[in-house]
Amino acid sequence: MRFLSSRRRHPAAKGLLLVLALFTMGALYSLVAPAAQVSADPGTSQQVAKGKALFAVGCASCHGLNGEGGSQGPSLVGVGAAAVDFQVGTGRMPMSRPGAQAPRKENRYTDEEIAALAAFVATLGPGPAIPTPDQYEPKGLSSEDIARGGELFRTNCSACHNFAGAGGALPNGKYAPSLEGVSSKHLYQAMLTGPQQMPVFSDEVITPKDKREIIAYLQTLETRPSQGGLTLGGLGPVAEGFWAWVLGLGSLVGFAIWIAAKGARAR
């Protein structure tokens, strides 16, 4: 102690103290800091290697060899396995040609190949993992839950997808597709990853149970019996009014032309 206190005012003391303090802080931090976050299923190294090879052939021309992005496609760092499973599973990727939006089409990959591609992209950065069936299958929900799903759908989704899920146009040649016949898994993944113009509905905003309720609601829409008459795509009162206008006015115009033609002949 005497040794230390006698050298308290040494010119190097301050600097030394600072270094010592920083060192202790660093050591303490490394003890209490949480372990680095890893994605739930990083995949086996063999699967990742297979995915990397598939990626080099089918995807790298647009997304870069390491998914870093390029002039033709965005970076895939941190999009997660769920985004790959959704994009490739719905046939959107690989995109065949540049356009306003990658359309849904026939999927060219086997389930195994998609899993490998997803495992590879998951190694690029942490992102949402592929959801499991107990996350996305809407089982054991009461009719109140389904009604709540309808409410959630109308507040969060109907602005783009129409309140019957029939889809709709968006600016710049883009569109929100119809949700009819979309599988529970793809519904869940679309909310989780927010493709293109669609916002991401993270689990904090719309909980996994909320998501299942929305899925259940959409499925009841599909099985709901028709009330009779023309559904007109369930487009609602505005669109139905529009059709009445087109057909009503159209027939009046047709009638006027018919009268004019008759009149001319009569003269």
3-state SS string for 167-178? CEECCCCCEECC
The reply on whether position 185 binds ligand HEC by CB under 6 A is no
Is 124 a residue that touches ligand HEC (CB under 6 A)? Answer: no
Residues 80-109 that bind ligand HEC (CB under 6 A): 83-84, 87-88, 90, 92-95, 101-102, 104
Cα 128-60-103 angle, rounded to 5 deg: 65
Note whether 198 binds ligand HEC by CB under 6 A. Answer: yes
Tokens encoding 228 = 């009779």
146 interacts with ligand HEC by CB under 6 A: no
The answer to whether 147 contacts ligand HEC (rule: CB under 6 A) is no
Q: Are 50 and 110 in contact (CB under 8 A)?
A: no
Amino acid at 169: A
- Amino acid letter, 243: W
- Considering the complex, what minimum distance in angstroms separates the CB of residue 235 from ligand HEC? 17
Q: Minimum Å distance from CB 146 to ligand HEC? A: 14
- Distance, in Å, from the CA atom of 207 to the CA atom of 205, rounded to the nearest integer, reads 6
Q: How far is the CB of 137 from ligand HEC (least distance, A)?
A: 15
Among residues 44, 197, 202, 251, the one that binds ligand HEC under rule CB under 6 A: 197
Query: What distances in angstroms separate CA 3 from CA 12, 15, 17, 20, 94, one per listed residue?
Result: 15, 18, 15, 17, 72
Q: Which helix (H) or strand (E) holds 52?
A: helix 45-58
Q: Does 58 bind ligand HEC (CB under 6 A)?
A: yes
Whole-angstrom distance, CA of residue 189 vs CA of residue 86: 6
Q: Per DSSP, what are the bridge partners of residue 169? A: 175
Applying CB under 6 A, among 22, 53, 159, 247 the residue interacting with ligand HEC is 159
> CB-wise, 131 or 177, nearer to ligand HEC?
177
Residues within the interface to ligand HEC (CB under 6 A): 58-59, 61-63, 72-74, 76, 79, 83-84, 87-88, 90, 92-95, 101-102, 104, 117, 156-157, 159-161, 170, 174, 176-177, 179, 182, 186-187, 190-191, 193, 195-199, 201, 214
